[in-house]
Amino acid sequence: NAGVTQTPKFRILKIGQSMTLQCTQDMNHNYMYWYRQDPGMGLKLIYYSVGAGITDKGEVPNGYNVSRSTTEDFPLRLELAAPSQTSVYFCASSTSGRGNNEQFFGPGTRLTVL
Amino acid sequence: GNSVTQMEGPVTLSEEAFLTINCTYTATGYPSLFWYVQYPGEGLQLLLKATKADDKGSNKGFEATYRKETTSFHLEKGSVQVSDSAVYFCALSENYGNNRLAFGKGNQVVVIP
């Protein structure tokens, strides 16, 4: 049981390039989330999904896109990378949408846009 | 909207000292409250939680009590170890909806031998 896995661990992009951050969970969780963590700040929610085929925006969705074709996978797409997207990205999952449920986090992807 | 405020700045203390990290929140409903911990180079993991007023969450010697009257959820540990060095995040989630977490900024804790 690997939990939540993310790839790649690190990436450097040039301005205007695109990339996909991968996230997979093997816990059969319906709910999945993407957060970004900027230095000295808490995590901000980018997008989330309540199940396969259903996604919704969080606090900071601009410049990102997501899809959820399977329960296990929740990739995050950056279409035109900008320096403001330099951050650490965390994927998380939980069993349900009830507020008392623990979220399980992946190890993160550190992205630098130059 | 929902928000979480943590005390400013890193916390540096000696081994076996008492640790307190302050957390206050603003919420429209009756949230669940969490403390997550992030060890160097890792993702966040749940440390403890409380789901209703006056509940006390505890784990690994850490405790926090859900105080509705002061809208607080302060984290405490009586005797810290070097292995407790990490970043600690307070967070809340409404008990309805999609389990969206609102995080505080986090506090870096450094424990010196």
Interface of B with A in 5-44 (CB under 8 A): 31-32, 34, 36, 41-44
* Cα A11–chain centre separation: 15
Residue reference for tokens 């929902």: B2
Report residue A12 as tokens. Answer: 């450097």
Interface of A with B in 81-100 (CB under 8 A): 90, 92, 94, 96-100
Number of H helices, E strands in chain B: 0, 12
Which has the closest alpha carbon to B88: B47, B52, B51? B47
Which has the closest alpha carbon to B99: A81, A68, A98, A6? A98
Test B103 with A58 for CB contact under 8 angstroms: no
What per-residue confidence (pLDDT) applies to B96? 66
Test A105 with B94 for CB contact under 8 angstroms: no
Kindly list the residues from chain B whose CB atom is less than 8 angstroms away from the CB atom of residue A98. Answer: 95, 99
Considering only CB atoms, A42 lies closest to which of B43, B99, B105, namely B105
Is pLDDT at A26 greater than 90 in this prediction?
yes
What per-residue confidence (pLDDT) applies to A99? 67
Flag residues of chain B having pLDDT under 70.
95-98
Is pLDDT at A6 greater than 90 in this prediction?
yes
Kindly list the residues from chain A whose CB atom is less than 8 angstroms away from the CB atom of residue B99. Answer: 31, 94, 96-99, 101, 103
Confirm or reject contact between B113 and chain A (CB < 8 A).
no
What single-letter amino acid sits at A90?
Answer: F
What per-residue confidence (pLDDT) applies to B97? 66
Helices (H), chain A: none
Which has the closest alpha carbon to A41: A97, A103, A87, A84? A87
What single-letter amino acid sits at B90?
Answer: C
